[in-house]
A and B are shown apart, each in its own frame.
Chain A
């Protein structure tokens, strides 16, 4: 028997297991998936926990409930990938050989990368990128009397680049409508980018929200360190931003396993062909989701579209055929803007988010780059789609892995030639 080994049973790994189990010849291939944790988290839901919209039960399931029959699941940590020997060594020193390896080890926050963060961690410095952080922040906000709340991005790239924006917009709504103490809260958004978001048209739309919602936007702020004692962020060019409560997005890095195995770049992301999803170093290693270094958003929607492409390419690889399926960088993200409204953006490597309708051209029901109530309902409905369709590898009708140009206002758009 030959083996396809998947490392990581998060969003991307689980989807790959579900896709491949239906497609490969079981008499020839064994599919094994390894993950060290029991729980699967619906990570987009973490955003809602600090504001009491979701609780833990909405975002947690057992991994074993989400993996298909016919796939071997091993709950263990991974010590090392020995790419030359085509084998992986587990934490208990057991060796697993493979013919094809799929790296789906994701990314994680590393608070210690910014000096001083550890000193104030979970006292007046919080994150919402982990379940523990989101819950701790909910408890903090419950009794918080008000003051200056700063939302801060340490360094790009980060998982779900719109999440910090959503957080600050929801905070405005939360303090106004739920806590009724918005007057006692000063909101401030600090980013290393030169605008509110990485994509220009979208940044232009979102920039208007800051004065409307009375949120201070501080751009081009590259953090040097945090002074936890006097509660301030200090930039490399010696600017300072004080805070009473800091919600930081720590540096995001790939798994330390990637560094130990000498397969990553400076942030432990694996150099990957952005179209075929094959690793650049080894032809029998493929990479999907947040673990790659490709210039696409680190987001579940991206992993979902990648999974369809990667399944095709792995089947081609098995059959000694050229890898013809090509990922176009397609991402699709709801952006919660508070007050039960949201925007939706749909874009790829070449085409930035523009206005239009989605998924049906001219019909919708969702509006692109526009704030609507239906978009918000879509975001909430998405949790069910995630658990019941996305993870199981069931395609969403009318939503293809390739981004559709129909239904989008593309006139006069500069195409991003860099990517």
Chain B
């Protein structure tokens, strides 16, 4: 479905995850963050978002919390402080990526 976020018309899933990462930009990220209760994206938030985007492009797999810690150098406690409750669900949504699904 289509949704207008920060003045841009983008394609999203029912849960609000972007389906075309080419439509993503930083203004959209900030708007989604506000929508899900993160008022301001700090340097710490951006470090996580950029790591997830880069790692996904490199490995073709959505990184896990463990990988964000090991390869991204972001402590899990810190990750939860930045994105409370479901950190990867929130961070991927803000990063314009698909919802991480536990397949098994």
Q: Which of A's residues lie within 8 Å of B, judged by CB?
A: 155-157, 161, 193-194, 198, 220, 222, 224, 236-237, 265-267, 271, 293, 295-298, 349, 416, 418-419
Contacts and interface: CB of A to CB of B under 8 A. Distances in A.
A236 B64 contact: no
Interface stretch (B4-12, B30-38, B40-48, B77-85): B77-85
A161 B103 CA distance: 10
Given A155-B66, A418-B99, 4 more contacts: A236-B76, A236-B80, A296-B104, A418-B101
Given A236-B76, A236-B80, A266-B71, A161 B85 contact: no
B86 A236 contact: no
B74 interface: no
B97 to A, nearest CB: 11
Nearest to A155: B66
Given A236-B80, A418-B98, A418-B99, A266 B67 contact: yes
Given A156-B102, A296-B104, A297-B104, A220 B86 contact: yes
A349 B85 contact: no
The 3 closest A-B pairs by CB, nearest first: A295-B103, A236-B80, A418-B101
Given A156-B102, A161-B104, A418-B103, A266 B77 contact: no
Interface residues of B, number: 20
Contact of A296 (B76, B86, B98, B103): B103
24 contacts: A156-B104, A161-B104, A220-B85, A222-B76, A224-B77, A236-B77, A236-B80, A237-B84, A237-B85, A265-B61, A266-B66, A266-B70, A266-B71, A267-B64, A267-B66, A271-B59, A295-B103, A296-B103, A297-B104, A298-B104, A349-B103, A416-B101, A418-B99, A418-B103
Contacts of B77: 224, 236
Given A220-B86, A222-B80, A224-B77, A157 B70 contact: no
A266 B77 CA distance: 18
B66 A157 contact: no
A296 B103 CA distance: 7
A157 B104 contact: yes
Contacts of A416: 101, 103
A419 B76 contact: no
Nearest to B67: A266
Nearest to A236: B80
Contacts of B101: 416, 418-419
Contacts of A297: 104
Which of A161, A236, A293, A297 is most buried by chain B, counting CB atoms within 10 A of its CB? Answer: A236
Contacts of A237: 80, 84-85
